[in-house]
Amino acid sequence: MELVRIPQRFSIDCHECDCETPEPIKATKQHFWIPTERNELMDELISRAIYYTETDTFNASVIPLCLSARATLKALHKANILNSNEVKRCQFFLN
């Protein structure tokens, strides 16, 4: 099973909101390692991350969460998990 390293902050927020996302296989102080399998759980994680990166109406207290969502998408992009439509939506910060 292949794994990808993502920031903990955004993944923890997803779980606190009762969203089903990939379960971490291992953890470090700041990151989770999750399976790279593209399924409903990964789709939910990607969808939420894109939402957080595209929304500009959040207040300043949510900015760290938005940055974590962006870092999550960057990690998923490097692992070739995002589809072409998702890459287009995130193009402005993926390169």
Using one digit for the tens of pLDDT, what is the confidence trace for 4-13?
999 999 999 9
Return the pLDDT at 55. 80
pTM to 2 decimal places: 0.92
3-state secondary structure of 48: helix
Instruction: Classify residue 69 by its DSSP letter.
Output: H
3-state secondary structure of 46: helix
Return the pLDDT at 95. 72
The 10s digit of each residue's pLDDT in 75-85 is 999 999 999 99
Q: Which residue has the tokens 């102080």?
A: 29
What is the chain's mean pLDDT, rounded?
A: 93
pLDDT band at 60 (very low <50, low <70, confident <90, very high): confident
